Amino acid sequence: MSNRLKVTPNDLSAFWMPFTANRQFKQAPRMFVSAKDMHYTTSDGRKVLDGTAGLWCVNAGHCRPKITEAIQSQAAELDYAPAFQMGHPIVFELANRLVDIAPKGMDHVFFTNSGSESVETALKMAIAYHRVRGEGSRTRLIGRERGYHGVNFGGISVGGIVSNRKMFGTLLGGVDHLPHTHLPEKNAFSKGVPEHGAELANDLERLIALHDASTIAAVIVEPVAGSTGVILPPKGYLQKLREICTKHGILLIFDEVITGFGRLGAPFAADYFGVTPDIMTTAKGVSNGVIPMGAVFVKKEIHDAFMTGPEHMIEFFHGYTYSGNPIACAAALGTLDTYKEEGLLTRGEELAPYWEDALHSLKGEPHVIDIRNIGLIGAIELAPIAGSPTKRAFSAFVKAFERGALIRTTGDIIALSPPLIITKGQINELIDHVRDVLRSID
Q: Which residues contact ligand PLP by CB under 6 A? A: 320-322
Rounded CA-CA distance 200/205 in Å is 10
Sole window of 252-260, 264-272, 321-329, 431-439 interacting with ligand PXG (rule: CB under 6 A): 252-260
CA–CA distance from 423 to each of 58, 100, 431 (Å)? 15, 28, 12
Least distance in angstroms from the C-beta of 320 to ligand PLP: 4
230 vs 438 by CB, closer to ligand PXG: 230
Other C-beta atoms closer than 10 Å to the C-beta of 343 total 12
CA angle 39, 40, 43 (to 5 degrees): 150
Pick the binder of ligand PXG from 71, 119, 264, 422 (CB under 6 A). 119
- Supply the DSSP symbol for 61: -
Q: Is 208 in the site for ligand PXG (CB under 6 A)?
A: no
* 32 Cβ contact list (under 8 Å, min separation 6): 40, 41, 42, 43, 48
Rounded CA-CA distance 201/243 in Å is 10
Q: How far, rounded to the nearest angstrom, does the alpha carbon of residue 118 sit from its chain's CA centroid? A: 11
Q: Is 150 in the site for ligand PXG (CB under 6 A)?
A: yes
Q: Is 327 in the site for ligand PXG (CB under 6 A)?
A: no
Least distance in angstroms from the C-beta of 164 to ligand PXG: 11
Residues forming a β-bridge with 177: 143
* 94 Cβ contact list (under 8 Å, min separation 6): 109, 324, 329, 332, 333, 336
Sole window of 123-131, 199-207, 255-263, 325-333 interacting with ligand PXG (rule: CB under 6 A): 255-263
Q: Is 257 in the site for ligand PXG (CB under 6 A)?
A: yes
Sole window of 143-151, 160-168, 203-211, 374-382 interacting with ligand PXG (rule: CB under 6 A): 143-151
Least distance in angstroms from the C-beta of 136 to ligand PXG: 27
Least distance in angstroms from the C-beta of 120 to ligand PLP: 10
* 134 Cβ contact list (under 8 Å, min separation 6): none
297 vs 320 by CB, closer to ligand PLP: 320
Residue 169 burial (10 A CB sphere; 0-12, 13-18, 19+): exposed
320 binds, among ligand PLP, ligand PXG, none (CB under 5 to 8 A by kind): ligand PLP
Least distance in angstroms from the C-beta of 20 to ligand PLP: 23
* 361 Cβ contact list (under 8 Å, min separation 6): 431, 435
Q: Which residue is nearest to ligand PXG (CB)?
A: 115
* 30 Cβ contact list (under 8 Å, min separation 6): 42, 398, 401
125 vs 232 by CB, closer to ligand PLP: 125
321 binds, among ligand PLP, ligand PXG, none (CB under 5 to 8 A by kind): ligand PLP
Q: How far, rounded to the nearest angstrom, does the alpha carbon of residue 366 sit from its chain's CA centroid? A: 29
72 binds, among ligand PLP, ligand PXG, none (CB under 5 to 8 A by kind): none
41 vs 227 by CB, closer to ligand PXG: 227
Q: Which residue is nearest to ligand PLP (CB)?
A: 321
CA–CA distance from 311 to each of 57, 131, 146, 300, 306 (Å)? 38, 18, 42, 18, 11
Pick the binder of ligand PXG from 59, 74, 116, 287 (CB under 6 A). 116
Pick the binder of ligand PXG from 50, 120, 176, 255 (CB under 6 A). 255
150 binds, among ligand PXG, ligand PLP, none (CB under 5 to 8 A by kind): ligand PXG
Q: Is 115 in the site for ligand PXG (CB under 6 A)?
A: yes
**Touching ligand PXG, residues 379-438 (CB under 6 A):** 408, 410
* 281 Cβ contact list (under 8 Å, min separation 6): 115, 118, 119, 121, 122, 149, 253, 254, 255, 256, 257, 294, 296
Interaction pattern, residues 38-77, with ligand PXG; x per rule: CB under 6 A: -----------------xx---------------------
Least distance in angstroms from the C-beta of 27 to ligand PLP: 34
255 binds, among ligand PXG, ligand PLP, none (CB under 5 to 8 A by kind): ligand PXG
Q: Is 378 in the site for ligand PXG (CB under 6 A)?
A: no
Q: Where are the alpha helices (DSSP H) in 28-114?
A: 53-56, 65-77, 89-101
Kind of pairing between the strands at 175-178 and 140-144: parallel
Given the rule CB under 6 A, which residues bind ligand PXG?
55-56, 114-116, 119, 148-150, 222, 226-227, 255, 257-258, 283, 408, 410
